[in-house]
Amino acid sequence: MLITVTGAGGFIGSHVVELLPEHGHSVRALVHYNSSGRWGHLQAFGNQPHARLEVIAGDVADTRCVEEAVGGCDVVLHLAALIGIPYSYHAPESYVSTNIRGTLNVLESCRKLKIKRLVVTSTSEVYGTAVYAPIDEKHPLQGQSPYSATKIAADKLVEAYFCSFGFPVVILRPFNTYGPRQSARAVIPTILTQALSGVEEIQLGNLEPKRDLTFVEDSANAFLLVTEVEGIERETIHFGQGDAVSMADLAQRCLEIVGSTARIVTQAERQRPEKSEVGLLLCDVSKARKMLKWTPQVSVEEGLRRTADHIREHLNDYRTKGYVV
C-alpha cells in the first residue's frame, strides 16, 4: 500500500516510517515545515532518494497541504500532534490549532479524497487518573490538561465522522511510549540525560504517579498491524504492557542501568497542578491482543537499556541542564 504518515519526523512517527517499508509498503511522510529544511528525526535517514519513501514538508493546520499529502494514498496514519503537557498550560491555543483543527483537516481531506482507512493517534492521557484499573476502552474520558482536552476533542471528531459520514476511521491509543529519539521533555530521557551527564542530583517532578510503559518499536508495530487488519473501522484500540511503574521506581531503574549514584530530588516547577496530575495509567491490553494480535515484545528493562544506549551515543543532542518544558 501507499501509506501517508503525518507527524513523520516525530518520535513515534519516525519509527513507523522506518518500519513500514520493511513490510513492503510505500510511505509518504509529512514532516513539519521549517526554514532549515530539516526533516526532524527522519533527517537521520539521510537525504538519499528512497524508492519507498517520499518526504513532504508542511503543516496539518493547512488544508491544502494535508490534501496534497493524502491524495492518492490507501491509508493515512495521523500522528501529527503538539504533545508536551506542561507547555499546554502556557499555549493552549496552539494545541487547539494543531490537535483539533489539524485532525479536522485530516478527516475532511481523507473523506473528500475517499481514503480507504484513516488511523488517528490518541493518548492514554485522555483517561485522566484511572477511575478503575486496568483501564479498558470504555473508561470515562477526563480532560485534566489542555493537551488531553484537545486530544479528547480530536477523538470525538473521529467518532462523529464515522457516525455522520460512515467514514472508515480507527483510533489507536498508545500508553506512554518511550525509547530512542524521544525528547527530553519526557520523563525517561529527563532521567537518563541527567544521569549520563554525571550530575549529583536528578531533578524530577512528582514521584508518585504510575505509568504503563511501551517501547517505541512495539508501538510502531501496532501502527503496522492496524493498517493490515480488516473489519476494525470505528474501533478504539489501545495498547501497553499491562503493568504500571511509579516515577520513583522508574528513576531508580534508570540509575541502576547507567551505574549512577545520583540523588533524586523533586522540584516544584516540574510538577503539574494538583488537579491536573494523572495518578495512574494502567492498560487493559486484551482488545489489542484480540483484534490486532499485538503483544509487547520488549520488556521495560530491555527497553530502558536500549534507550540509555541511544542517549549515551547522542548525549550532545540533548540539553542536560535546566527544565525542558
pLDDT, one tens digit per residue, over 242-284 is: 999 999 999 999 999 999 999 999 998 899 999 999 999 999 9
**Residue 90 CB-density burial (10 A; 0-12 exposed, 13-18 middle, 19+ buried):** exposed
Domain ranges, ordered by start, for the chain: 2-175+215-239
**What sign does the dihedral 133-136-138-142 (CA atoms) show?**
positive
The yes/no answer on whether domain 2-175+215-239 falls in CATH 3.10.20.30 is no
Q: Determine if residue 248 is left, alpha or beta; phi over 0 gives left, psi from -120 to 50 gives alpha, anything else beta.
A: alpha
Task: Please state the length of the chain.
Answer: 325
The pLDDT, as a whole number, for residue 46 is 64
The pLDDT, as a whole number, for residue 10 is 96
pTM: 0.95
Task: Report cis status (omega within 30 of 0) of the bond before 134.
Answer: yes
pLDDT, one tens digit per residue, over 208-255 is: 999 999 999 999 999 999 999 999 999 999 999 999 999 999 999 999
Residues 6+ apart with CB under 8 A from 22: none
The pLDDT, as a whole number, for residue 325 is 77
The pLDDT, as a whole number, for residue 36 is 83
Residues 6+ apart with CB under 8 A from 32: 7, 9, 40, 57, 58, 59, 80
The span from the CA of 191 to the CA of 320, in Å, is: 10
Does an H or E element contain 35, and which?
Answer: none
The pLDDT, as a whole number, for residue 224 is 98
The pLDDT, as a whole number, for residue 38 is 86
Angle between helices 300-313 and 187-196 (to 10 degrees): 50
Give the residues of the chain that fall short of pLDDT 70: 46-50
The span from the CA of 277 to the CA of 111, in Å, is: 36
Contact indicator for 247, 188 with CB cutoff of 8 Å: no
The pLDDT, as a whole number, for residue 47 is 57
Closest CA to 23 of 63, 56, 52: 52
Q: Burial code of 132-141, b = ≥16 C-beta within 10 A, e = fewer?
A: ebbbebebee
The pLDDT, as a whole number, for residue 133 is 97
Task: Give the bridge partners for 2, in sequence order.
Answer: 26
